[in-house]
Amino acid sequence: MSPASGARSRHGAFILLRRLRHPLVLLIVVYAVAVAGFTLVPGVDPGGRPWRMSFLHAFYFVSFLGTTIGLGEIPYPFSDAQRMWATVSIYATVIAWLYAIGALFAVLQDPLFRRLLHESTVDRMVRRLREPFFLLCGYDDAGHRVARELTEDGIRVVVIDIEPARVDAADVDDHRVPVPALLGDASDPKSMTLAGLTHPHCVGVLALTGSDAINTKIALTARLLNPDLPVLCAAHDHAWHPRMATAGADHLINPYDTFAERVAISLRTPSLHVIYEALTTQAGTAAAEPLRLPRGRWVLCGWGPFARTLRRQLERLEIETTAVGTELDDSCDASNSVRGDPSDATVLREADIEHADAIVACTEVDIDNLAIVLTAKGIRKELFVVARQNQRRNSMVFRAAPTDLVMLSGYVIAGEVLRNVRAPLLSAFLRRARDHDEAWAAALLARLRESVGAEVLESWSMSLVPAAMPAACAALARGEPLSLRRLMTRPDGSARMVRAVPLMLQRGNERQMLPSIDAPLVEGDQLLFCGRALARSRMRGFALTRALAPVAVVDAAIALEDAP
């Protein structure tokens, strides 16, 4: 238990006792006076002899008297004086109880006490974690999807967010495993520590708040308090990129850069875009048709970071662009821009929308983007339409709108985070894949379609180390040949291979794209595969259950393939 969490728990108990001090003192005094009165007021027994209650009888009678249970007069019928004292005691104890219960409810509704109680509850849940978990800062659209996907994989997540509605959503969302959610400021080191930043099982920090400044503070806090933790930061403004890198962020995810790069990939190598989507969205398939984007003039409506980033990518491909917006900068002149409201048909006609091939509605307001789309399609129905969606709750409206491509920032960020968490080698593979031409990408896409078909494409990494793959490392230690083919062959003697495609082999600093199925392996190699979810579970199961296909079976399969 951290000192901060222990202090907060003690503060909660202290506040409860301090706020209930006067009601408890009043209740004790009233009970003491009532009990004392019953021991002093004389009564008469059935034989006519005087008697007085013992302390035990008096305390027992006042106890059920104060709760208005009403068990009767004990041990003998009361005298008039005792009944008078009982009447006074009834009103006094009931009033004291009402005052105490009201004070208790007031304390339980006190925001400070509720916050400390909430923090104490989350602290206990975090301290009980005995599995690796990620600290997720921010539970907006991106954080929601990341938490859902990671928990589906059985990976634990602890959430921290400053918005009560989001914390409540994290508590009630149907996650596969419980997700502790802390209501707090992620830029506060105490809140970060309480949420598990220094916990021995914390394996990474995901800074996905909507503020670049707060994400930078999160990275700096993680670097100083737990330097070994990898930190993934979402960034929307390029001015914050160097600050985040200096603060200690290991990976920067800019949704505008990512989406603009995907548009450029679609224009340059359409087959690679299909592969990219299938590998990163966890919903795409290799059977999807390549997206055909026009190479004519593009009209960018709404000038901001997204429009500027997309414009740079389009200009690199020598595609003409026209910017339309009310706040244009010095990079926009009369030859390539129009100042005005892009949802106004007159402004769009001034931008010569009748002769454009594509329009991008990229303002920060979803309603404005939809208005731009409808206005533009009303002028030219053949336009290719790209729309920026800012809030996930508007997905139904955007699906009904006449759009060809929708950019949801949270969805893009979540996809990049999941890619880095699930298969760290995938980022390196996709970066290198951009250097290849359409023929290379088309050949890979055909291979994926043959191996996986229309199934959802999964990617996973495997490390050839004793802890992760004991059977394979033991075979290497015995001097047996080990290849990708043997790793992918089922260990049941059937010589059948799992339906997966090896994408990359990393050995030290050397990376080999699309390695041969018969490439020899050595201990320490890092492997990246893609295929069906069943193939992923089977290969991981083979590794963990110490199962490995016999060499003779693999050799027989090779000989059968080589036979005419």
Q: What CATH number does residue 39 fall under?
A: 1.10.287.70
Q: Does the pLDDT of residue 555 top 70, yes or no?
A: no
Tokens of 241: 């990129």
**Residue 559, pLDDT score:** 43
Lowest mean pLDDT among 21-30, 191-200, 306-315, 534-543: 534-543
**Residue 1, pLDDT score:** 47
**410 with 460, same domain?**
no
- Taking the CB of residue 517, how many other CB atoms lie within 10 A of it? 16
CA 380 – CA 315 distance, rounded (Å): 23
Closest C-alpha to 281, from 440, 417, 461, 143: 417
**294 with 408, same domain?**
yes
Domain's final residue, options 108, 141, 158 = 108
Domain's final residue, options 422, 453, 478 = 422
**225 with 277, same domain?**
no
CA 327 – CA 396 distance, rounded (Å): 29
What's the burial of 289, exposed, middle or buried (CB within 10 Å: 0-12/13-18/19+)? exposed
Please check whether residue 123 lies inside any domain of the structure. no
Question: Tens of pLDDT along 82-99?
Answer: 999 999 999 999 999 999
* Model confidence band, residue 551 (pLDDT cutoffs 50, 70, 90): low
**Residue 354, pLDDT score:** 93
The dihedral formed by the CA atoms of 65, 66, 70 and 76, expressed in degrees to the nearest 10? 0
Average pLDDT, the chain: 86
Q: Are 449 and 285 in contact (CB under 8 A)?
A: no
Question: Tens of pLDDT along 239-259?
Answer: 999 999 999 899 999 999 999
CA 487 – CA 516 distance, rounded (Å): 13
> Which residues lie closer than 8 Å to 511 by C-beta, 6 or more apart?
428, 432, 504, 505
The string over 102-120, giving b where at least 16 C-beta atoms fall within 10 Å of a residue's C-beta and e elsewhere, is ebeeebeeeeebeebbbbb
CA 42 – CA 204 distance, rounded (Å): 74
Question: Tens of pLDDT along 176-217?
Answer: 888 999 999 999 999 999 999 999 999 999 999 989 999 999
**Residue 564, pLDDT score:** 42
Please check whether residue 430 lies inside any domain of the structure. no
Average pLDDT over residues 367-384: 93
Question: Tens of pLDDT along 265-316?
Answer: 889 898 988 888 888 766 667 778 888 899 999 999 998 889 999 999 999 9
**228 with 311, same domain?**
no
Q: Does the pLDDT of residue 549 top 70, yes or no?
A: no
Q: Are 349 and 335 in contact (CB under 8 A)?
A: no
- Taking the CB of residue 450, how many other CB atoms lie within 10 A of it? 11
Give the domain CATH number at 385.
3.40.50.720
Q: How many domains does the chain have?
A: 4
> Which residues lie closer than 8 Å to 561 by C-beta, 6 or more apart?
none
**243 with 175, same domain?**
yes
Please check whether residue 120 lies inside any domain of the structure. no
Closest C-alpha to 39, from 101, 94, 82, 102: 82
Lowest mean pLDDT among 252-261, 373-382, 386-395, 471-480: 471-480
**273 with 408, same domain?**
yes
Q: Does the pLDDT of residue 562 top 60, yes or no?
A: no
- Type and span of the H or E element at 388: strand 384-389
**450 with 480, same domain?**
yes
Q: Give me Rg for the CA atoms of the chain.
A: 34
- Tally of residues, the chain: 564
CA 341 – CA 18 distance, rounded (Å): 59
- Type and span of the H or E element at 242: helix 241-247
**282 with 379, same domain?**
yes
CA 49 – CA 211 distance, rounded (Å): 84
DSSP 3-state assignment of 391? Answer: coil
DSSP 3-state assignment of 135? Answer: strand
What's the burial of 564, exposed, middle or buried (CB within 10 Å: 0-12/13-18/19+)? exposed
Average pLDDT over residues 520-539: 86
**276 with 417, same domain?**
yes
φ, ψ of residue 251 to 5 degrees: the values are -135, 130
Please check whether residue 277 lies inside any domain of the structure. yes
Phi-psi region of 168 (alpha: psi -120 to 50; beta: other; left: phi over 0): alpha
Question: Tens of pLDDT along 102-149?
Answer: 988 888 787 777 888 888 889 889 999 999 999 999 999 899 999 998
Beta-strand runs (E) in 243-366: 251-253, 298-301, 321-325, 337-339, 358-361
**Residue 537, pLDDT score:** 80
**28 with 89, same domain?**
yes
**Residue 347, pLDDT score:** 93
CA 42 – CA 84 distance, rounded (Å): 12
**464 with 554, same domain?**
yes
Q: Does the pLDDT of residue 341 top 50, yes or no?
A: yes
Average pLDDT over residues 475-494: 79
Helix axes 111-127, 80-108, angle to 10 degrees: 70
The dihedral formed by the CA atoms of 146, 151, 157 and 161, expressed in degrees to the nearest 10? 50
φ, ψ of residue 505 to 5 degrees: the values are -120, 120
* Model confidence band, residue 492 (pLDDT cutoffs 50, 70, 90): low
CA 135 – CA 245 distance, rounded (Å): 19
CA 506 – CA 522 distance, rounded (Å): 11
**Bond prior to 75 in cis (omega within 30° of 0):** yes
**Residue 153, pLDDT score:** 81
- What are the helix (H) ranges across 405-563? 409-422, 424-433, 438-451, 470-477, 484-488, 533-544, 551-562
Report DSSP state, residue 434.
T
What's the burial of 239, exposed, middle or buried (CB within 10 Å: 0-12/13-18/19+)? exposed
* Proportion of the chain above pLDDT 70, given as a percent: 91
**549 with 489, same domain?**
yes
The residue range of the domain holding 551 is: 437-562
> Which residues lie closer than 8 Å to 32 by C-beta, 6 or more apart?
none
Give the domain CATH number at 542.
3.30.70.1450
- Taking the CB of residue 66, how many other CB atoms lie within 10 A of it? 19
**Residue 146, pLDDT score:** 93
Tokens of 545: 């259950």
Q: Give me the amino acid identity at 209.
A: T
